[in-house]
């Protein structure tokens, strides 16, 4: 009996303490691995979000840049420039003189503005103008306003001009708009230029380069601006503004936007050097591409990175986009 009791005795206190210590060490190791894995997953997820945001930002920027200076199917040398300031001596091509403009922010984010066509184009409808000074008619469910700059283009010619009058008529589900383009009206310091080609000029000659018909399209010229500024949550964000509409927030967490303009020095359509908008050596009329670098950061209430004081993870991304309507 005594031998059986001796063989059934329990563990000693020392053995129990050693077992507990080993168990705690094992639990601590598993916890460390779990926390490290969780932290790694958070970093990977945040990095993926930053990459996705950068792709969307570049998509929006590149789409507008590639459409900048679109002239319909007419090449630039077939377009007459009938718009100019109030005291004109010659026509002005808005895509050349105002086609793209940038502001160098220095240590702050850069910003830029470009001109492009606002819509896919509006077909001319009857009655077609009997001569080059007559008003035009288009059908649309959108609005055209006095002071809008437009491009009238077919594949044989084109004209830039400012709309000086509109008359809207009902046309089923669409609106039929009569568009005038005289030279006697000044709107915001701009008027249409008399090219001197009218056969019956009258007091305010306002002839286009030709009489257009069903093959012509009317494009409204739109101004689009990109800028980084603080949103309602206190984070920096990328904003896009079209004409005088309210700016739209595209992406939050854009800490910086740096832009370099590719200047074509020899006229071959390729950039020979890249300069900032503030560089006096840059001729913006020779800019044929734009090199963009965006720096994105995770949300201000999400602490991920221990290397930054605010705990936010940051990454920079770069791409170069051709302003293809200038490089053609």
Residue 77 pLDDT: 73
Is 247 or 186 the better-scoring residue by pLDDT? 247
Residue 228 pLDDT: 95
**Is 200 domain-assigned?**
yes
* E strand or H helix at 96: helix 94-97
Reported in sequence order, the residue ranges of the chain that DSSP labels E, i.e. its strands, are 79-81, 83-85, 100-103, 111-117, 122-123, 136-140, 149-153, 158-162, 165-171, 174-180, 190-192, 217-230, 236-242, 248-252, 254-263, 273-275, 287-297, 314-322
pLDDT band per the 50, 70, 90 thresholds, residue 122: confident
Of all residues in the chain, the percent with pLDDT exceeding 90 is 24
**Is 44 domain-assigned?**
no
Q: Model's pTM, two decimal places?
A: 0.77
Looking at the predicted structure, is the pLDDT value of residue 168 above 70? yes
Model confidence pLDDT, tens digit, residues 200-249: 555 555 678 788 888 888 988 888 999 999 998 888 999 999 988 999 99
Number of domains, the chain: 1
* Residue range(s) defining the domain that contains residue 154: 49-327
Model confidence pLDDT, tens digit, residues 71-111: 878 777 777 777 666 555 566 677 766 688 889 998 899 99
Residue 176 pLDDT: 84
The C-alpha angle with vertex 126 and arms to 210 and 117, in degrees rounded to 5, equals 65
**Is 13 domain-assigned?**
no
Model confidence pLDDT, tens digit, residues 10-54: 667 777 788 788 888 888 877 777 666 766 777 778 888 889 999
Of all residues in the chain, the percent with pLDDT exceeding 70 is 82
- For the chain, state the CA radius of gyration: 32
Looking at the predicted structure, is the pLDDT value of residue 191 above 80? no
Residue 101 pLDDT: 87
Residue 185 pLDDT: 77
Sheet arrangement for strand 254-263: 273-275, 254-263, 287-297, 314-322
Is 288 or 32 the better-scoring residue by pLDDT? 288
Residue 206 pLDDT: 63
**Is 1 domain-assigned?**
no
Residue 239 pLDDT: 96
């Amino acid at each position: 009996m005594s031998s059986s009791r001796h063989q059934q005795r329990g563990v000693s206190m020392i053995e129990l303490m050693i077992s507990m210590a080993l168990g705690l060490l094992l639990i601590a190791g598993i916890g460390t691995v779990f926390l490290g894995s969780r932290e790694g997953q958070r970093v990977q997820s945040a990095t993926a979000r930053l990459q996705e945001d950068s792709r969307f930002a570049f998509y929006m920027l590149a789409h507008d840049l590639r459409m900048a200076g679109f002239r319909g199917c007419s090449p630039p040398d077939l377009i007459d420039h009938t718009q100019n300031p109030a005291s004109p001596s010659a026509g002005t091509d808005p895509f050349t003189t105002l086609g793209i403009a940038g502001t160098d922010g220095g240590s702050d984010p850069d910003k830029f503005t470009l001109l492009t066509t606002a819509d896919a184009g509006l077909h001319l409808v009857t009655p077609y103008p009997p001569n080059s000074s007559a008003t035009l008619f288009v059908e649309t469910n959108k609005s055209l306003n006095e002071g809008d700059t437009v491009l009238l283009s077919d594949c044989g010619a084109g004209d830039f001009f400012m709309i000086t009058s509109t008359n809207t008529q009902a046309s089923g589900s669409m609106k039929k708009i009569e568009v005038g383009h005289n030279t006697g009206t000044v709107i915001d310091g701009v008027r249409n230029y008399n090219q001197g080609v009218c056969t019956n000029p009258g007091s305010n000659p306002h002839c286009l380069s030709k009489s257009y018909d069903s093959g012509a399209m009317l494009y409204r010229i739109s101004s689009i601006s990109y800028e980084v500024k603080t949103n309602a949550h206190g984070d920096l964000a990328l904003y896009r503004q079209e004409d005088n509409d309210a700016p739209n927030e595209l992406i939050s967490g854009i800490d910086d936007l740096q832009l370099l303009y590719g200047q074509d020095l020899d006229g071959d359509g390729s950039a020979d050097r890249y300069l900032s908008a503030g560089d006096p050596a840059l001729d913006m009329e020779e800019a044929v591409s734009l090199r963009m670098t965006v720096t994105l950061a995770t949300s201000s209430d999400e602490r991920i990175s221990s290397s930054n004081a605010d705990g936010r993870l940051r990454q920079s991304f770069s791409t170069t986009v051709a302003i293809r309507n200038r490089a053609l």
